[in-house]
Amino acid sequence: MRVRVVVDTSLLVAGLRSQLGASSSLLTAVAGRRIKPLVTTAVFLEYEAVLLRPEHRLATNMSEA
C-alpha cells in the first residue's frame, strides 16, 4: 500500500521551483507513484490559484491554459 499524503500548497510550489531538497523529492515520489496524493476540490482550486500567480508561472515555466 502506498503512503497517502495531502501535499501542502507551499510544498508543491517549492518542489516545482527547485529540483533540490525535500519538496522536490516528495514530488518525485508522487510522480513515481510511490506516494499517493490526496486532493479535494478545495485543495485543487488553491493549487490552481497559487500556481497561476505570475511569479510562480515564470519560475516554473508554466503557461496559463
The verdict on residue 17 lying in a domain is yes
The verdict on residue 65 lying in a domain is no
Can you list the pairs that 45-48 forms with residues at least 24 positions away whose Cβ atoms lie under 8 Å? 46/9, 47/9, 47/12
Average pLDDT over residues 26-47: 96
For the cut 90, the answer to whether the pLDDT of residue 58 exceeds it is no
The verdict on residue 40 lying in a domain is yes
Q: How many CB atoms lie within 10 A of CB 54?
A: 8
- Give pTM, 2 decimals: 0.80
In the prediction, which pLDDT does 1 show?
Answer: 78
The verdict on residue 7 lying in a domain is yes
Strands 35-37 and 3-5, how do they pair?
parallel
Dist. CA 37–CA 35, nearest whole Å? 6
The verdict on residue 28 lying in a domain is yes
The verdict on residue 14 lying in a domain is yes
- In the chain, the number of structural domains is 1
The range of the structural domain enclosing residue 16 comes to: 3-60
pLDDT tier, 65 (very low <50, low <70, confident <90, very high otherwise): low
Average pLDDT over residues 33-59: 90
In the prediction, which pLDDT does 36 show?
Answer: 97
